[in-house]
Amino acid sequence: MLITSRTNPAVSAAAALRDKKHRDEKKMFLLDGIKLFEEAVKAGLDIVSVFATEKNLPLCRKLLPGREITEVTEPVFDRLSAEKSPQGVICVAKYIDKIHNINKIYKVDDFRDGGRYLMLSSLRDPGNLGTVIRTAAAFGIDGLILSSDCADIYNPKTVRAAMGTLFRMPAAYVRDAVQTVSVLGEAGYSVCAAVLDPESRRLDRMNVTDKTVFVIGNEGHGIDPAIVSAAHEKVYIPMEEGVESLNASAAAAVFMWQMRLSSGK
């Protein structure tokens, strides 16, 4: 099937998924690019439809044998993709079971089996969120806990920055982050808020264990003060004078590396 019209209903429906409202209504999101498509197939995502330019049809048919691949012209593909240098493959997939993106309420039993977690507070930049997801996968984090005002995990910028790691990283947006800190404490975890206060504990002098959960905050304003108050400890990354702070994703990487070191891996 070849689509030549930018106003084709199937094209319009797919393009609408760049908007969070439409994504949440349909429980579907976009994967833009060959690498993401390959990783989605490998991860077993439920792929609803695939759009490709002529030169990419053979690859798509090889990856999804027996499935219909919709061929589109270059102008039509430009309607679908927001990339500056589009690769000519974009697909629509259903939301991922490992990701709870609406107001999860954790209970103590959810943490009985242990696991290493990172909590994100008001992290609103989708690119930063995607980078954190990718880094978390690299360092063996078992799951991400996000406050409800974090960036949308299915935002195309998040999906692109996370690459295929999004498909295997458990994550949940929580209705009440402060209540979640309390539940983590009941489950035996120590929740540590990352701050810029040199009067707090230095990261390199902490006894980090598999029961340590670090909280990373907003790029400009840090962690929600209510979460800082609820946390069991405050911790900071020692830096040279004159350096105000680290990018949120860079700070998260430092904390997660410390978690990995403590695990002995």
pLDDT confidence tier of residue 185, bands split at 50, 70 and 90:
very high
Share of the chain above pLDDT 70, in %: 99
| CATH 3.40.1280.10 intervals, the chain | 99-263
2-94 CATH? 3.30.1330.30
- Residue 264: its pLDDT value, please? 66
pLDDT above 70 for 139: yes
pLDDT, mean of residues 79-102: 90
From-to residues of CATH 3.30.1330.30 in the chain: 2-94
Q: Is 193 helix (H, G, I), strand (E, B) or coil?
A: strand
CA dihedral 1, 59, 52, 33 (to 10 degrees): 160
**Of the given ranges (46-50, 78-82, 238-242), which has the lowest mean pLDDT?**
238-242
Nearest to 95 by CA among 202, 20, 205: 20
The sheet with strand 99-104 has its strands ordered as 99-104, 171-174, 143-147, 117-120, 212-216, 190-194, 233-236, 201-202
What secondary structure letter does DSSP report for 2?
E
Cα angle: 158, vertex 164, 6; to 5 degrees: 65
Q: How far is CA 19 from CA 82, 134, 153, 218, in A?
A: 12, 23, 12, 22
The predicted pLDDT at position 265 comes to 63
∠ at Cα 66 (60, 70), nearest 5°?
50
Residue 175's identity, in one-letter code, is R
- Pick from 121, 103, 114, 89: nearest CA to 192: 121
Indicate yes or no: pTM above 0.85: yes
Candidates 3.40.50.1970, 3.40.1280.10, 3.30.565.10, 3.40.50.720; CATH matching 99-263: 3.40.1280.10
